[in-house]
Amino acid sequence: GFGKPTGIDYPGEQSGIIKPLKEVGPVELANESFGQGISVTLIQYITALSAIANDGKLMQPHLAKQIVYTDENDKVTETKDIKPKFVRQVISKENSELMREMLEDVVTKGAGKKAYIEGYHIGGKTGTAEKAINGKYDTTGKYISTFACIAPCNDPKIAVVLSIDEPDPSNYYSGSNAAPLTKILLEDIFRYLNMEPDLGENKEVVKEVTIPEMRGKSIADAEKILSNLNLNFEITGSGSIINDVNPKPGVAVKENTKINLIADNSQKINSDVAVPDFNEKTQKEILDEANALGIKVVFSGDGIGVSQDIQPKTIVSKGTTVKVILEKPEN
């Protein structure tokens, strides 16, 4: 359905830009492989996404499900249902099922984690593009961030494409801005449609949280922090102030993990911390996490974290510098 109008019942639809195969050489093929040199409208995008949700069947999109005619007294005189219109089979049923599985992996394991909602099979795709202005791709920090999703993947009912025009340049990756906004939208849609979570099949997906710094705080404050993070805890010692924590602040653990709070007035406050896992995090997320733990960070490159010179969970002193390599994710 790309490269030509979808036939939606609304004027002004554009065709987008898809070059004919005979005009695609090595350079064009290289550009198109990461999303440049082509353009699609959002209605084309969601129509194609819906074909994946619909076992490979491409349908003509419509803005309305039904037209209702009324008289001057607002009495209904006629109704006209807009019936679904099948266009053609674009991929096989088997391939559409495989693609839905891959899209769900993006949300449970990949760059779309911030769209994850417990109990719902959400499949998504992130997209971050330099904005095209006057025929050239902008290099001054203007982007378009898009997150597309299907839900639930095992029995699709909803397709959503959310796009942000020129997001904050310090947080422009769609996995960090469009995905969490889509999550909020989906939560409202699930409530509106009375769609119950499928907790039985999603039990294996448990959220990870990073243990925060609590040393020097009162027991009551530490308990409140851990409760808000869905972490269990036990207290060792009879003091009133937390002077150590195990595992150390910075360690990523699963929800409901038991944290040992040590409150021993005879000991000094331990200031050692664990180096967090900065993989797949934006520069801002890395800095926020490092600053909260008293760790310094030096960056190389641009994008999201792909490697670090001190491995996650390594115990270090506050003030330690961690070198993090950033790379731009694929669109």
For the chain, the average pLDDT equals 89
Q: Which pTM value belongs to this model? A: 0.65
Give me the mean pLDDT over the 235-249 stretch.
90
Name which of 320, 322, 319 is nearest 309 in CA terms: 322
| Alpha carbons 135 and 2: distance in angstroms, whole number | 20
Lowest mean pLDDT among 68-72, 154-158, 265-269, 314-318: 265-269
**Looking at residue 21, what is its pLDDT?**
87
| Alpha carbons 303 and 306: distance in angstroms, whole number | 9
Torsion angle, alpha carbons of 110, 328, 209, 197, to 10: -30
CB 112 within 8 Å of CB 124? yes
| Alpha carbons 9 and 64: distance in angstroms, whole number | 9
Residues 6+ apart with CB under 8 A from 20: none
Torsion angle, alpha carbons of 115, 117, 121, 125, to 10: 0
Give me the mean pLDDT over the 139-157 stretch.
91
* Each residue's pLDDT tens digit, 115-141: 999 889 999 999 988 888 887 887 788
Helix extents (H) in 8-122? 26-33, 42-53, 93-108
Between 266 and 330, where is the model more confident?
266
Domains annotated on the chain, with CATH: 21-192 (3.40.710.10), 208-327 (3.30.10.20)
Token digits of residue 273: 């911390």
Q: State the amino acid at position 280 in one-letter form.
A: E
**Looking at residue 205, what is its pLDDT?**
52
Judged against a pLDDT cut of 70, whether residue 112 lies above it is answered with yes
**Looking at residue 201, what is its pLDDT?**
52
